[in-house]
Amino acid sequence: MTALLEVEDLKVAYGKIEAVKGISFTVEAGQIVTLIGTNGAGKTTTLRTLSGLLKPNSGRILFDGQPLSGVPAHKIVALGLAHSPEGRHIFPRLTIAENLQLGAFLRTDKAGIEKDIQRAYDLFPILGERRKQAAGTLSGGEQQMLAMGRALMSQPKLLMLDEPSMGLSPIMMQKIMSTITELKASGTTILLVEQNAQAALSLADQGHVMEVGNIVLSGTGQDLLHDESVRKAYLGED
Ligand code: ATP
């Protein structure tokens, strides 16, 4: 099986601060892969580098067989890699429908775009009910749903989600997690960054634990969920 995404010895620094210190991992098509780890481990930096927002110092990224080195962010979206960023980054003054349309900025197939907007409303009915409302009036969890819906509008092969459960109530979090499982079932490959290790590992095929810029442990979601060191460090057990 060839991987959809291959990351090899990736290093990323902010000036002298090395945030990612040479990580390697792959994402196979059809899988959910999660990166977990505490604040500052380098997870967000990794996603921002994959989507072309940060330039790596060294290393290799292959997406769908193509090197991403030097490819600008909008072309990376066009290749099929979408990013739902941390902190949501929706456009608060635009309506929900307009935010979704912006996610399709590279597409010209009007009927297909309409169909996918409808799909976002089916996934998250609240977005459909409020479609004409300014997105800034949505709750944090609803904005998170909109960010995911918007990322899906580019019909990505790989959807990267940065902390989709951040600040959500347990019920909202359940909803987001079950949506991630539904997306996988419908054929979307997912790279999920989460601080909620329990939730992320429960649904991931593969997981990697990051600590201060390195991957320190890798395994299937289930293996990591039952790993003693993971349970102590990330699942709050002693
Ligand atoms: P979090 O869950 O808190 O977002 P993270 O694992 O996503 O953590 P990163 O945001 O990737 O971690 O940060 C990795 C390291 O890089 C941290 O030490 C952070 O302080 C540093 N860093 C992140 N962004 C910048 C920046 N713009 N300038 C300088 N240092 C940065």
197 lines ligand 1 (CB under 6 A): no
Q: What is the largest distance, in Å, between two alpha-carbon atoms of the chain?
A: 54
pLDDT in tens, 118-167: 999 998 999 999 999 999 999 888 888 899 999 999 999 999 999 998 87
- Average pLDDT of 68-77? 93
Q: Crossing angle, helix 170-185 and helix 140-152, to 10 degrees?
A: 10
More confident residue, 172 or 74: 74
- Tell me the percentage of the chain whose pLDDT exceeds 90: 76
| Average pLDDT of every residue of the chain | 93
Q: According to the model, what pLDDT value does residue 141 have?
A: 83
For the cut 80, the answer to whether the pLDDT of residue 1 exceeds it is no
Per-residue tokens: 200: 């992320």
Tell me the best of 17, 50, 166, 191 to mutate to test the pocket of ligand 1, counting ligand atoms within 8 Å of each CB and taking the most: 17
Indicate the pLDDT class of residue 237, thresholds 50, 70 and 90: low
* CA separation, residue 211 to residues 40, 109, 122, 233 (Å): 8, 43, 37, 11
Q: Which residue's CA is the nearest one to ligand 1's atom 17?
A: 40
For the cut 80, the answer to whether the pLDDT of residue 219 exceeds it is yes
For the chain, the three-class secondary structure string (H helix, E strand, C coil) is: CCEEEEEEEEEEEECCEEEEEEEEEEEECCCEEEEECCCCCCHHHHHHHHCCCCCCCEEEEEECCEECCCCCHHHHHHHCEEEECCCCCCCCCCEHHHHHHHHCCCCCCHHHHHHHHHHHHHHCHHHHHCCCCEHHHCCHHHHHHHHHHHHHCCCCCEEEEECCCCCCCHHHHHHHHHHHHHHHHCCCEEEEEECCHHHHHHHCCEEEEEECCEEEEEEEHHHHHHCHHHHHHHCCCC
Q: Which residue's CA is the nearest one to ligand 1's atom 16?
A: 19
Per-residue tokens: 101: 């349309």
Q: What ipTM did this prediction achieve? A: 0.92
Q: According to the model, what pLDDT value does residue 207 have?
A: 98
Q: According to the model, what pLDDT value does residue 227 have?
A: 93
> Ligand 1: distance of its center to the CA of 44 in Å?
7
